[in-house]
Amino acid sequence: MAKTLSFTDTSPQTVKIGDTTTSFTLICGNDNVATDLTKATSITAKLGNTSGYLKSATVDPASLTDPTTGQVTVNFNADLMTSLTAGSYAIEVWVVDPTGTSIYPSDGSTGFNITNNIQSTNGSVITTITFDDFVKAMNKAASTIAKGDKGEKGDTGTVDNAGLTTAPAFVELQTQVDNSAVGTNLLINSNFSSGLDHWVVNGGTNSDCKAVVTTDSDGDTCVHITGTGDYCGLFCSPVSFNQNQITTGSILVKGTGKLNLVGLSGRPASNFGTISTESYSKVGSTMQAASGTNSFWVYFNPVNGVVDIYIKFPKLELGSHATDWCPNPSEILTQSDYAKIKAAIVALGGSLS
């Protein structure tokens, strides 16, 4: 039988950006006959768009009003709304019970929409580009402007870079851009959707650490790390930082092991969180970045001579607070991005369906 997923007759199918009170009610079924969720041990709603998986929300099986009706309510709270932009999305419901994992629907996915609110179109805010990139774009644009547009054309104009970057208005802009990065995941492939691309396994002090990409009982891609020595885990190279920037690294983890560091290498750190052998918990480290580029470490030390850890959703962000996981902005192609690319291609005489 085909697994189906549909909205109830009274459920909305659209939510506005910033609305944290709306909830969707969906029905898990087999050939549109409601599934009995009485024995469900885990329920997860997974959201995605044309670029792939984005984020998920757990639904407590104990919160189901009547499990026999197959109805699951997904609340669009602040955590779920973070980083989602206006556009079309798909939703799947993953149900784990004693027989295994069931994914609704089994064919395709069920769609919903996120729309702009009235404030969403009030001007533009720079959130995902670096200040240096902005300056380069300004320099490139300014260098194409010829002198004397009301009279005879002159030489191509130039820009005083030093004067531009030290001007009070640009200094203020740089501060705004830096602050806007708070909450942004600075890591690439942080959901391991491309395996261990951008990541390197660290052998640990006994040179026996191994890392295998797998899927956990929640249906999430995770990495199983095993070894016997200190510093067992993974590392990658993040973006460059200023010395005075405070950063926080975090990750979901379960298993046997002791946190060594989830953050920037060679920096004094304050660790937080406790590792459980039964379920995932968030652990991490807060530290001040160096001037330059530090490697990002996810390292564990053994407990009773063993490291046997599952990790998922690592995040590195500015600030001293660990926020919910989200993909790096460069890994998300929004509908607005697509429209801009299409317009540029058409302007050059091409086409894009």
| Residue-level pLDDT at 329 | 77
pLDDT band at 147 (very low <50, low <70, confident <90, very high): very low
| Residue-level pLDDT at 124 | 42
| Residue-level pLDDT at 13 | 93
pLDDT band at 12 (very low <50, low <70, confident <90, very high): very high
Q: How far is CA 22 from CA 18, 78, 245, 293, in A?
A: 10, 11, 36, 42
Task: Give the chain's domains with CATH numbers.
Answer: 3-115 (2.60.40.10), 131-180 (no CATH), 200-331 (2.60.120.260)
| Residue 156 scores a pLDDT above 60 | no
3-class secondary-structure state, position 264: strand
pLDDT band at 76 (very low <50, low <70, confident <90, very high): confident
- Is the pTM higher than 0.85? The answer reads no
Alpha-carbon distance 135 to 129, whole Å? 10
| Residue 74 scores a pLDDT above 60 | yes
Alpha-carbon distance 224 to 211, whole Å? 5
Strand positions, DSSP E, the chain: 3-7, 14-16, 23-30, 33-34, 42-49, 52-59, 71-75, 87-97, 100-104, 110-115, 200-202, 210-215, 221-227, 232-236, 246-256, 258-264, 269-272, 281-288, 296-301, 307-318
Average pLDDT value for residue range 227-237? 96
Peptide bond before residue 105 is cis, with ω within 30 degrees of 0: yes
Q: How far is CA 46 from CA 80, 151, 161, 194, 251, in A?
A: 10, 60, 46, 18, 19
